[in-house]
Amino acid sequence: MAITSTKAEMGRNILKSSLQNASFSIVFQILFRCITFVLNAFIIRTVGQDVLGIMNVRLLLLESTILFLSKEPILKACLTDTKSHNWAQVINQIWLSVPISGLMGLMLVYVWINVLSPTDDVYVTQYRLGCYAVALSCVVEQVTQSVVLVAQSFCFVKLKVIFETVYIVSRTIIFVYLVVNHPSGAINAFSIAQVTSAVVLCLLYYGFFFWYIAKLNVIKSSGGRGHKALFSDMNDFPFSSITEFFPGVMGNYERLLNKDLCLLTISFAKQSVIKQILTEGERYVMTISPVLTFSQQSMYDIVNNLGSLAARFIFRPIEDSAYFYFTQMIKRDEPVQKQDQRHISESATVLSQLCNIVTSIGLMVVVFGQSYSYTLLYLYGGTKLVANQLPVTLLRFHSFAIVLLAVNGVTEGYVFATMNNAQLDKYNYVMVIFSISFLVISYVLTNILGPVGFILANCVNMLARITHSLIYIGKKYQDTAYKPLEGLIPTSKFLLALAASGVATKISEVVLSSLILHIAVGAVCFTMTVVVWALENKSLLRLGYDKYKRRMSTKSD
């Protein structure tokens, strides 16, 4: 397994490792989404839409809430400037997520069972078990965070994808096997699969590093003779025993916790509460206020996930890798004029190119989404899914939200990666305003327009957040020669190609009765649009190709 290891190599190749991580994350997201969509179709056909709504909206919202609020702030803080870490303090810090997730799990399970609107009587017992199982699986996942942090910090870029693929596949196999044999116990099957797969993931991570450290110690004792790439620069790996992944074992610190990391964690914690509301706002509205039935919630969830293919496959991995890249290249507490100008120049170029890429992809989704929403839903769910015009309308509206999600992901990722503690605290108040406004707008528009109101509220929210990020980035570079935000402006030829494709595909949808011919027209228009974009961005493609050639030549050497 060719895995990039060691802190020293990470320091020299931050951009390369970030790009590799994005590539492998995209592959994993594609696999995960494919499995999820097939599984959703299986659930609908086997046990019905109500069960899908309970699992995919109510129970997975509980999991998302516990994990995001207990893991995200600590993990983000611990990933900042990993080259300067006192690893004993960092391990102590990351383990705080375990008791926090346990406490949050107990409180939220009580709310989910006793406060929220009840399920049908036939599902009550299974639903209770599902809530407890989700909370337990979250605690098990937090136990794994110390090794996950080390794997990410030392750029084991394939390890996460491999292990989480095993995690997803094992959870799916267990769930499908139990449902096939006991269709009436689908939520129980979900609970068992959730806990079992979390334990499998935990054992995989600890098992790998138990083997890795043992092998590393043997190589060190022999003077490093004959070691492979997996163990290159082995003296920079700070762990000599698997027990050092547990709190209080390493002991090479004056304080149990790092004060700066604690302050950064607190800032991220305030921010995470608000960001979670913004990210899962429509699910919270659906859960707290019975605007939609469980059946309607499941249909909205299917359309929402289908419409978010590009966001989940491409934009989220790019956002995560960009955040990691910018945290390593730009210091939070210094003006860009006083930092290493090579890093600043490269970072500005990367930000501009990322803005260019995600904006272009998002605009293509908008254009082709208007003419191919019906086609996509028909191919996925058949006539039953498109019998009602609502799913088609939702998907068309959702395509506009995708381009905003794309731009917001990259720009806000840069903002979070470069703000200092004071700026993060100040931004928390801005996020409070965004959150309250989003919830109010969601509730009002949903009661007026139904599920479409969720999408429109998201669009308003994204526009507000993008505006804030653009102002911040503009001020960051206002006294420099760098203009990274110019990447957000597409070229006129690309916009013309998009307009021509939009007209042609809309005419095709109305005029052509053959689905195959309609898809063929879309394929031709899509190819034309991509070719125009490529011709307009030759320098970007040449840079990517040169990096790919250097990577391949390095591997061959």
User: How far is it, in rounded angstroms, from Cα 484 to Cα 441?
Assistant: 32
Chain centre to alpha carbon of residue 233: 31
Structure tokens at 234: 């082995």
Distances (CA, A) of 397 to 158, 186, 205, 390, 456: 36, 32, 41, 11, 8
Write the DSSP assignment of 111-139 as a string of letters.
Answer: HHHHTSPP--GGGHHHHHHHHHHHHHHHH
The percentage of the chain sitting over the pLDDT mark of 70, rounded to a whole number, equals 82
> By C-alpha distance, which of 374, 303, 387, 383 is closest to 519?
374
What is the C-alpha to C-alpha distance for residues 494 and 487, in angstroms, rounded to an integer?
13
Q: Please report the pLDDT score of residue 249 as a whole number.
A: 80
- Give 254-269 pLDDT, tens digit per residue: 677 777 888 888 888 8
> What DSSP string describes 251-271?
---SSSS-HHHHHHHHHHHHH
Higher pLDDT, residue 468 or 275: 468
Quote the pTM value.
Answer: 0.66
Model confidence pLDDT, tens digit, residues 127-138: 999 999 999 999
Q: Of 102, 57, 117, 128, which is closest to residue 280 (Cα–Cα)?
A: 57
For the chain, the domains span 9-63+95-198
Question: What pLDDT score does 11 carry?
Answer: 44
- What pLDDT digit, counting tens, does each position of 162-207 carry? 888 888 889 888 998 998 888 888 899 999 999 999 999 999 999 9
pLDDT value of residue 6: 41
Q: Residue 277: pLDDT above 60?
A: yes
CB 82 within 8 A of CB 10: yes
If DSSP states are collapsed to H, E and C, what string results for 50-108?
Answer: HHHHHHHHHHHHHHHHHHHHHHHHHHHHHCCCHHHCCHHHHHHHHCCHHHHHHHHHHHH
Hunting for tokens 């203009």 — which residue is that? Answer: 483
Under the banding of pLDDT at 50, 70 and 90, the label for residue 518 is: very high
